[in-house]
Amino acid sequence: SQQGEEDPQALSIQEGENATMNCSYKTSINNLQWYRQNSGRGLVHLILIRSNEREKHSGRLRVTLDTSKKSSSLLITASRAADTASYFCATEAGAQKLVFGQGTRLTINP
Amino acid sequence: GAGVSQSPSNKVTEKGKDVELRCDPISGHTALYWYRQSLGQGLEFLIYFQGNSAPDKSGLPSDRFSAERTGGSVSTLTIQRTQQEDSAVYLCASSKGGSTNEKLFFGSGTQLSVL
């Protein structure tokens, strides 16, 4: 069952611009995670935000969580070519299972 | 090893053959997940192991798919009588304790191509 859905499906911006992608989910969560995937292989964890947190920062990443709207956003500031990747949110589906959305494909143009 | 290891990296097989995919999680990690990702798509949950508990097999798409985890460490995903629609990247991940507030560490995946 699909819990999180990312939006947009694809995003193309110029290097240096900010990139924002969103994740919506259906049922209540304890936390939400964001991952990055390069070249269609293994995912790398970026950040985890708990349900009692509204915003979290890690370097050029800013994640927000709005539990009333069941949505989260990932902002990448001052984008670089190396940020080109797919980004996924992961949420709980049941007690211990993490499920992923379809992802946002981000392209940073030089 | 330092990370999650999957083998083989690539597997090409003929329709109808059985395949085994292997995952070696990070030492000490009690939780292990298998996901499948078709080209350009999201991750599809397949199965989850946590310690000695019965695995959550709710994502296995058919009875041709099975997985086991021996000794709480290495896991093998077996696909019997492969079909062309089984072609995908199979990703394995592990986490330290299995709670959803822990991050997953992924392997590089096995690209399966069924001809």
DSSP letter at B62?
S
* Triad B60, B103, A94: Cα angle to 5°: 45
B50 φ, ψ to 5°?
A: -135, 110
The predicted pLDDT at position A93 comes to: 73
Question: pLDDT for A56-99, tens place per residue?
Answer: 999 999 999 999 999 999 999 999 999 999 999 999 876 678 88
pLDDT digits (tens, 9 = 90+) for B21-64: 999 999 999 999 999 999 888 899 999 999 888 899 999 999 99
Q: Are strands B43-50 and B65-69 parallel, antiparallel or unpaired?
A: unpaired
**What is the predicted pLDDT for the residue at A92?**
83
CB contact under 8 Å between A42 and B33, yes or no, is no
B75-104 pLDDT per residue, tens: 999 999 999 999 999 999 999 987 778 899
Residue carrying structure tokens 């995908």: B88
Q: Which residue of A has its CA nearest to B92?
A: A42
End-to-end CA separation in angstroms for chain A: 38
Would you say B30 and B48 are in contact if contact means Cβ atoms under 8 Å apart? no
Contact A107, A90 (CB under 8 A): no
The mean pLDDT of chain A is: 91
Residue of B nearest to A46 (CA): B103
Query: Nearest-CA residue of chain A relative to B37?
Result: A40
Q: Determine the pLDDT at residue A1.
A: 44
Task: Choose the mutation target among B48, B90, B100 for the interface with A, i.e. most A CBs under 10 Å.
Answer: B100
The pLDDT-based confidence of A48 (bands split at 50, 70, 90) is very high
> On the CB side of A17, how many CA atoms lie within 13 Å of its CA?
13
Check CB contact under 8 Å for B100 and A30: yes
